Amino acid sequence: MQVALTPVFARSLSPSLGLVALAVSAYSIANLGGNLFSGLVVDRFNKVKVLVAGILVGALAIGLCSTVTGIGPLVALLMLNGLAFSVVTPAAYALLSLHLSDEQRGKGMAQSGVTIGLSAMIGPPVAGGLADVLGHAGAYGAIGGFLALLGLVLAVGLRKAGTAEAEDDVGLKDLVALLGDRRLFIAYLGAFLLMYMNGGLVFALPPHVKALGLKGAMTGALFSTFAVMAIAVFVSPLGTLSRRLGAPRTMALGAILLGVGCGLLSVFDRLPLMIAAMAVYGMGFGLVFPASLAALVAATPDGKRGSAFGVFYAVFSLGSVAGPFALSRAAALGLSPFLLAPLLPAIAALGLWWWGTRRVQPATA
């Protein structure tokens, strides 16, 4: 929801494009740093309490954005929101993993991906509608109120889930061990790959659409196609493909589709064909995301999953920064971003398939 609000609101508070860019990036910057250590908090303390506390602090920060009159306070509050929500996602996924058996893991993680796809589709237009009715400041207030209500509902609804949960004594040495665990490398690779490609598309697709003479709204339609296709894979039998093929080989197939979908955008100049290319890309995303999560859960003991998910989403954020940076450099050198971007998934696919075939146990999820 913030994606639709922050750029416009920040621009109304400051003429400096640099400060506006800082405001737009503030959440991600704080979230990236927080994710690295948020998992330690999730594993050391009650996961339900951490989840609710993160949402309530984030609600306060977002609600207070409605009162600011300068860009500095807005940046500070958005960074506080990013820091607060750095514990929310690891806590949510750690709780989810505790309630999934080995047989349910692939399906459960695929279903969780549906919520992410829906949020990407629903959040921006809803926030835009709120801004039209209430103004941007009022929209921040409404979102803060909604998050506060959500936190209270979860505090009541997950009360029983939290009482039976053990708290674990984890520290920095455990975090370092997770960063160096080769079994978790494929999960982290999947996270980086997904957001590297997504960040690259966010950078390259809008100007490409404009250069073809298409309306700007078509960019939204193309991203919606990707999201809808990813959701379709999540809820179909393909969402549990990693249980049969193993996570590495499922991710390899998904990486190939990511690369093919992106590469086709460089040769397709008609909207129906571009929609087809984004559908292929969405299928790849739908395979890689749940397989990455399932691989992470399979390789991590219960007491350290919060930390592992924290690292996973830190790598997620790192990929979203690296993608636009790498492809912007390619564009500056006169290279097509849509032809350069598939190189990484192609290399990753080869490595993942080789890794999957050499494993003694072919199914990791």
Q: Which residue has the higher pLDDT, 277 or 267?
A: 277
What's the rounded mean pLDDT across residues 217-230? Answer: 82
Q: Return the minimum-mean-pLDDT range out of 122-131, 283-292, 303-312.
A: 303-312
Q: Is the confidence at residue 314, as pLDDT, over 60?
A: yes
Q: Is the confidence at residue 167, as pLDDT, over 90?
A: no
Instruction: Give the per-residue pLDDT at 364.
Output: 43
Instruction: Give the per-residue pLDDT at 77.
Output: 96
| pTM, to two decimals | 0.75
Q: Burial-class residue 194 by CB neighbours within 10 Å (0-12, 13-18, 19+).
A: buried
pLDDT bucket at 153, cuts 50 / 70 / 90: very high
Instruction: Give the per-residue pLDDT at 365.
Output: 43
Q: Is the confidence at residue 184, as pLDDT, over 90?
A: no
Q: pLDDT, tens digit, for every residue of 61-75?
A: 999 999 999 999 999
Sequence-ordered list of residues with C-beta below 8 angstroms from that of 181, at least 6 positions apart, any chain: 299
R_g over Cα of the chain: 20
Sequence-ordered list of residues with C-beta below 8 angstroms from that of 310, at least 6 positions apart, any chain: 35, 36, 37, 38, 39, 40, 42, 86, 87, 90
Residue type, 318: L
Percent pLDDT > 90 in the chain is 25
Sequence-ordered list of residues with C-beta below 8 angstroms from that of 233, at least 6 positions apart, any chain: 110, 239, 282, 283, 285, 286, 287
Dihedral sign of CA atoms 131, 133, 139, 142 in order: negative
The helix/strand/coil state of 268 is coil
The Cα 146–Cα 80 span in angstroms is 17
